Amino acid sequence: MTTMTAYQDLMAFQRETEALAEIAGRLGWDQETMMPRCSADQRAEETAAISHVLHQRRIDPRVEDWLGQIEDDALEPEAQAQMRLIRRDFNRTRKIPPKLATEIARVTSRAQGQWAEARANEDVAAFLPVLEQVVQLRQEEGHALAEGGDAYDALLNDYEPEAKAAEIDAMFAAMRPRLVALRTAALDRPAPAPVKGDFPADVQLALARDVAVAFGYDLDCGRIDLAVHPFSSGSGRDVRITTRTNADDPFNCIYSTIHEVGHASYEQGIDPAYLLTPLGEGVSIGVHESQSRIYENQLGRSRAFTGWLFERMTERFGDLGLDGPDAFYAAANRLHNGYIRTEADEVQYNLHVMLRFDLERALISGDLKVTDLEAAWNDRFAADFGFAVDKPSNGCLQDVHWSVGLFGYFPTYSLGNVYAGCLYEALRKAVPDLDDHLARGHLTPATAWLREHVQRHGGRYTPRDLIAQASGAQPGPEPLLSYLEEKFGALYGF
Q: Which residue numbers are catalytic?
A: 260
For 181, other C-beta atoms within 10 Å of its C-beta total 12
Whether 265 and 140 have beta carbons less than 8 Å apart is answered as no
Q: Which residues of 261-298 are buried (b: 16+ CB within 10 A; e: fewer)?
A: bbbbbbbbbbeeebbbbbbbbbbbbbbbbbbbbbbbbb
Closest CA to 291 of 239, 221, 330, 335: 239
Whole-angstrom Cα distance, residue 66 to residue 130? 40
Residue type at 171? M
At CB < 8 A and 24+ separation, what contacts does 305-308 make?
A: 305/438, 305/439, 305/441, 305/443, 306/332, 306/333, 307/439, 308/438, 308/439, 308/440, 308/441
Whether 203 and 196 have beta carbons less than 8 Å apart is answered as no
Whether 9 and 66 have beta carbons less than 8 Å apart is answered as yes
Burial label, 367 (beta-carbon count in 10 A; 0-12, 13-18, 19+):
exposed
Phi (first) and psi of residue 152, to 5 degrees:
-65, -40
